[in-house]
Structure formats: structure tokens, C-alpha cells
Chains A and B, each alone.
Chain A
């Protein structure tokens, strides 16, 4: 696969979360969709402003849990009833109450693992390279006290000159072009 080249995004740097959220709102109103916010700590309003939507991790977790439940309950039933039936003092082979605890534990285990790996699969992590780190002001500020809004070049509305003037109208500290 050839490496992508050219402009990855236009990045605007803001001093306060309020300014960032305001700019993100404006960008969404202006029709931008492929964009992202970067903040040193979680800012829920920013996620909302760029149109954060519910993801499918909870569904993956539910399916994983149910599979775990069925797998262990099935395994226990198979062992106790068909594979290795033991007649102990006339105890019934299919004693489902005694199967509950391992089945429950596998429900938890599978649900936890599917939530974890489902989350990674759906959000694209781990990501060893990301172009935003090419911007020096991002490297310095993104984890301490600055707030960033990126308009990505893949957005159909994106155009370097027009998007730059749009961002500059939001009174940022700076607007930089980020290369791949």
C-alpha cells in the first residue's frame, strides 16, 4: 500500500476548552464532518459538538457474554450428561444449579474480553504513527494545556485556502497545515 502524501489536516490551536467547543460547533454547522478534537483531558462537550455517536462496543460485549455463557453451560452439560456421566448416590446428571457459577464466570470473562478487544478493533488502536504529532505545537501542548481542532483533508468540504480562512475566523492561537 503506498503511503499517503500531502496534507493530512488543518490544525487550529485554542487557549480554552470553551473556544474549542465553540469552533467545533461552528465547523459542524458549516458542514464539516471529518474532524477531530484533541484535549489534554476529556471534554464531553467537544465530543458532542463534533457529532459523537454511540458505538457498537456494548453490543459486542453483550454477544461475547452470551457466547461465554452458552459455551460454559454447554461444556458442563456435555461433560456431565454425555462425555463422562457419574452416578453419585443417584444425583441427576443434568444438575443445572451447580453449573451456574462457572457459566456465570465465563459470561463475565468473555464479556470483559470482548469489550476490551471490541473497543480496540472499533477505535483503531493501537496506532504507532499518527500525523498530528508532526506539528510541533501539538507535541508541546496537546497533553498539557492547549486544545486542538483538526479539519481533515478527506472531508469533501475541505479545501486548504477556504478551510484555513474558516478556522482563522474562529480566533485561534494558530492554524497550521499538518503533513502526512
Chain B
């Protein structure tokens, strides 16, 4: 700090290198391919078994992909706010990628509309919407007693009207935050004076409240979007798990972005090993926090001896799901934990890339394990069908399309914020602070 003579000057260009357009093209092609596969799979699945679940699985896959993309967008915004609150050099280097992530909010709003329309209004994803007339459904034997009871008493919250209203209100508030954070960031760079204290306070005041607000809204959203698929079950740590789960996917994506961009200026000379190491350490912390919440939730419910809650896990262990659950632990914790334990690995780009890819993959895998067994046709019975493959095709397509938008946003601003006291530090040579 206070070092006015930079050891190496600011790179001559601060804009994204031209190869980002190439990434965008590739993501677009992959997205189109996955989308075509998804539609083909839906038709194949439709004709496959007696229940004709092809298109239903398509929309379940959409929900899976949507929740993931929501996490990349607004989870990125949450990490951006955390970074404004904590300060630090690691925050400066990831700030612009995180801002680009949360500028994708229009796409997240658009992606939500089919979920709400097909899932709630049409009732194809949520049984509380499908059988809002629970007494009738119970008489016809379409739902059991427990489900009828849950639908009846949760109706004040779980109804189509409130689903739409709450989700859109949350998306509006979060988008407003995203707009504000991005606008101020540009204004800060354009400020002719550094005004460090003024800007820091301004961002801190917005972010401090914003982080808490985001957590509360997220809790509500995941209850509506995912937990309510099985209205008989509830858990108070569910929101926390998604909160950490989003950071678990966002931070690796930010690291991958930086590693990709570091092939050229301006990131090549500013993304130093020391910040890379710091980001790797933060990933490691998230790996531990994630398993702590996931295993803690399991242990408390499992040892709590409550017959109302344990079946939620049995639905996800029996009938072939045990394989998915075991692999979930391996992908989510064992592999990233073992990899990130090494100091060298966090400092070598090619190896850190592997760890980050595993983490993002694990995030999608976990969503599959959380969503699909919530449906009664799949609980305790993992049936390998064309429809199950929708959980690969649709989320992959949505994620690729989201990446197209993200890469586009990445090219629209300089990749390094220039009005920040940490700038002098990241321009110094690697060993100065090592």
C-alpha cells in the first residue's frame, strides 16, 4: 500500500482478449447441440415406458439447470458483495468476472418463466400445484394421506399465486442489486479522484445488507423451487446448503475464467500465483463448509429418530440411489478435498483447473440427487431411462447458453478495476508479498 511506483506498469490493454469471442462461439455450438439432444431424448422418453415421462423429465432437467444457472448468476453476486465487504487482493482480481456473472440476470428471469409456467401454473413439477384440490386427489388415490395433509396445511404458502409473486419479487430485488453494483463499479473507475473511503463505504453499505437479504431470499426461493417438490418434508438448513453450494460452483468458475484469460493481457501480468493460491485456499474452505452442512444435516436427521424426516434420505439411498449418493460424496468432497490439500496443486494452473472442473461437475451431480428422488415415481427407484439423461442434456444446454451470455458480458468492460488501492499490489512482482 502507498506504493506509487509500480514494479510493472498497468497492461496496455485492459479489455478482454479476442479469444473470448471464440469461447462464446464454442459455448453457443455446445448449447445448440445439447438442446437438440434434449429434445430428441424427450421424444424417445415419451415413447419409452407406460408413464410417458419424456417431457416431464425435460422440465425436471430444466429446473435442475435453472437452479444451477441462478446460482452462477446471483451466487456470483453474493460472492461479489462478500468481496466488497472483506476487501483483499483476491477480491480485486475476481471482481470483474463476478460482475459479468451477475449481469446475466435478464437471462435468469427469462429461464424462470418456463419453470413457473409448466411447473406451477400447469402443475407438472409440483404436486401441490397439480393436486391443489387435495381432498379429491386423495379420494381418487392419486396422493397418499401424508401428501394430502402437507398440501392442505401448506396451502397458504404453496399455491400458484404466491409462487409466482414471491419468485418474481425476489428476482426483481436481486436484479436491482446487480444493476446497482455494476453501475457503481463503472462510476468508481470513472471517478477522477480515488475517493477510496467514499467508494468503499458506499459498496460496504450496499453489500452488508445485501448479503443478508440475499441469504433470506435464497432460502425462500429454494423452498419454493426445489424443496416443495416433496411437500411432506422440510429442513431448516436447506437454504444454507444452497448458499454454500452456489459459492462452491461460482468460485471455481471464476478461477477457471481467470486461468483461461491469463493466456493474454491484461490478466497474464496481474493474475499472480499468490492470488491464485489464495483463491484455491478459499475453494478448499468451501469444500469443507459444504461437506460440513451436508453431512451435518444428514447426521442430525438420521440420528434424530423422526420417522417424518428419515424417509427423505431413504428415498435418496435405496433402489440404486445409493450409488448416486456415494458418488456425490466422492465428487463433492473426497476428490476436491484430496486435490486441494496440496499446496503445490493450488499454485499450478493446469492442476487447479482439474479441481475446479470437478467441483462444478459435482454441483450439477448434487442437484440431480436432490431433485429427481423428490418425485414419487423416482424415489427409491433409480430407473435408467432416456428421460434420466435429460438431467445431463438440459442443464448442459442451459449452462452453455448462460456461458454465452456471461462471456459476452465479460468482453463489455475492462477486466481490471483501476480505481482501487489494491491495484498497486497486484502490479508488483510475485515474490514481493510471497
Interface residues of chain A, those whose CB is within 8 Å of chain B, are: 86, 88-91, 95, 97-98, 101
Contacts and interface: CB of A to CB of B under 8 A. Distances in A.
Contact of A91 (B295, B302, B308): B302
Nearest to B304: A88
Given A86-B305, A88-B307, A97 B314 contact: no
Interface residues of B, number: 12
Contact of A89 (B295, B298, B303, B314): B314
A91 B380 CA distance: 13
Give the dominant DSSP class at B's interface: helix
Summarize A's interface: helix, strand, loop or mixed. Answer: loop
Contacts of A101: 299
A88 B310 contact: yes
A91 B302 CA distance: 8
B22 interface: no
Contacts of B306: 88
B25 to A, nearest CB: 45
B114 interface: no
Nearest to B300: A98
Given A88-B310, A89-B311, A91-B310, A97 B305 contact: no
13 contacts: A88-B305, A88-B306, A88-B310, A89-B307, A89-B308, A89-B311, A90-B310, A90-B311, A97-B298, A98-B298, A98-B299, A98-B302, A101-B299
B376 to A, nearest CB: 16
A89 B314 CA distance: 9
Contacts of B310: 88-91
A90 B314 contact: yes
Interface of B: 295, 298-299, 302-303, 305-308, 310-311, 314
Contacts of B305: 86, 88
A95 B305 CA distance: 12
Contacts of B311: 89-90
Given A89-B314, A97-B298, A98-B302, 20 more contacts: A86-B305, A88-B305, A88-B306, A88-B307, A88-B310, A89-B307, A89-B308, A89-B310, A89-B311, A90-B310, A90-B311, A90-B314, A91-B310, A95-B302, A97-B295, A97-B302, A98-B298, A98-B299, A98-B303, A101-B299
A98 B301 CA distance: 10
Contacts of A91: 302, 310, 314
Contacts of B302: 91, 95, 97-98
Contacts of A86: 305
B53 to A, nearest CB: 26
A91 B305 CA distance: 9
Nearest to B309: A89
Nearest to B329: A97
A86 B304 CA distance: 12
A151 to B, nearest CB: 46
Contacts of B303: 98
Residue of A86, A97, A101 ringed by the most chain B CB atoms within 10 A? A97
